[in-house]
Amino acid sequence: MSDCLFCRIAAGAIDADVVHSSEGVMAFRDVSPKAPTHLLVIPREHVASVADLTASHEGLLVEMFDVIRSLAGRESLDGGYRVVTNVGADAGQSVDHLHFHLLGGRALGWPPG
Ligand code: DGP
């Protein structure tokens, strides 16, 4: 079993509040939510970050954004929402498995810290 936290969640070895599960993509609630809705959308395949994406991930990315759009609707984020991905230490990436944060349910400040 991989020692990657999100690979372990994707494999069901660590519990999470899962809101979407398909062959290629999973989404679950962030353990430390920063907004009323704070979901993490991940590929089941291990990709460390945006920095490791290639043209071969085109279909996966389309599916991930389809999931994001669908979840935003299910969470009734009618006022808008933010999709964020951190890459590397300066951006605060703490889990080295690609994930998009889907944040909403309140007004979100800009710029981020
Ligand atoms: P980032 O800092 O961008 O790498 O985001 C990682 C996010 O993962 C962070 O918001 C907290 C969340 N997180 C860390 N460990 C767990 C966990 O075990 N379960 C869940 N659901 N979320 C986690």
pLDDT digits (tens, 9 = 90+) for 12-30: 999 999 999 999 999 999 9
37 within ligand 1 shell (Cβ under 6 A):
no
Distance CA 27, CA 10 (A): 9
Between CA 39 and CA 42, with CA 41 as vertex, the angle to 5 degrees is 145
Q: Which atom of ligand 1 is nearest to the CA of 92?
A: 2
Question: 39 C-alpha to center of ligand 1: Å?
Answer: 10
Question: 83 C-alpha to center of ligand 1: Å?
Answer: 15
Instruction: Name the maximum alpha-carbon separation found in the chain.
Output: 41
Q: Which atom of ligand 1 is nearest to the CA of 5?
A: 18
28 within ligand 1 shell (Cβ under 6 A):
yes
The burial class, CB within 10 Å (0-12 / 13-18 / 19+), for 27 is: buried
pLDDT of residue 8: 98
pTM as predicted: 0.98
Q: Tokens 């809705």, residue? A: 37
pLDDT of residue 1: 55
| Residue ranges in the chain modelled with pLDDT below 50 | none
Topology of domain 5-104, per CATH? HIT family, subunit A (3.30.428)
pLDDT of residue 5: 98
Closest CA to 53 of 1, 45, 31, 81: 45
Is 99 among the residues known to form the active site? yes
89 within ligand 1 shell (Cβ under 6 A):
no
54 within ligand 1 shell (Cβ under 6 A):
no
